[in-house]
Structure 1
């Protein structure tokens, strides 16, 4: 009888252990499935974040416009070259405006004039008008190039240029120079030619004048253009080596002083 009881207890214990082991296996399987589901969810979330980041980068106009394709790099070189050459030309014109002495753009100081003004010949006045027209052309080229390039630094320079124009907008209009909604300047040559010489001189022919201040800004723009052209050239070096290790110089020459040569 005791033997039967012992056998029954042993069988019950074995059955209980089996049931416990089965329960543990089911729990382990369930937890494993949950872990796999969590990993899959995390991976999907990571992929979505990566896709979102790519979308943000693609949506960024400056980044998407000027990534490393040769076509976009060529555009950058073109715009920086135009900006740099226009800035250099504008500074040369300002130097002519500020130059003093006989046969300069603003003529020589007269000793007999009651108002202490200046006298110029018709030829000098025509040259002055031509140089101011050229100044406006250079200004517009700089501004348009910066707008095409984009970027925060160029935006700061645009704001500086606009500030100088806005300060003198009324006086500029009196000599035939006006600003459009896009910030671009225009000149009415007939009005400019008939304008008072002293009024023109105050805007273009004196230190700290409108033209002088624009010249100072263009000096910084010229340096910015040159620095960026150097950077573009040397960044192109790293991507222009052929498979056999030889260098393919695809840097095209644009402009004069702003052709950055090795």
Structure 2
């Protein structure tokens, strides 16, 4: 008897595996490498490429992260170049120079804006569909520089803003009040820098306003304590 191979019914066909989500990180210094490690432990994406002007640094970080894969989540990690930004859902820019002791923010801006004007065109040459996430200081102005240099819609160029400040603010409040900082709900708004603003009126502990919480628990959160917490948040 002859047997004729037939295709399985549509509902029996093995579905094609979805494309692995890719994140590109430009700048493999302390911020970029820490972000990459957090991304590895999150298990959110399947591909991570590190790009740095110092190729050896990117290769070393990629190797270290790859060696952690057996103890974490499956992920393809490598050191690449700007062409590897193609297909990336998000490209994180953490490249730049740190502020020197006594250096004005304007001088830092000039140096990092120059770096961005070199980096961003290389990224968008290979990827005009992904999101740019900016984490280099001064982040608010550099997010604007990245937007103008990229020509991308404003909604696809995002700065980290005051996320770090808000996290630090919540931690310090929790530490001062003796509560788990995950139960502290408070925000820093405005610029990531000297002009940022703590929104004390909206801060609460699991929905209980700070004044009510402190009154009920005998906490000291007067003007001096608030100024100290905000100063440590900002500085």
TM band (smaller chain): under 0.3
More helix by share: 1
TM-score (normalizing by structure 2): 0.23
- Structure whose alpha-carbon radius of gyration is higher: 1
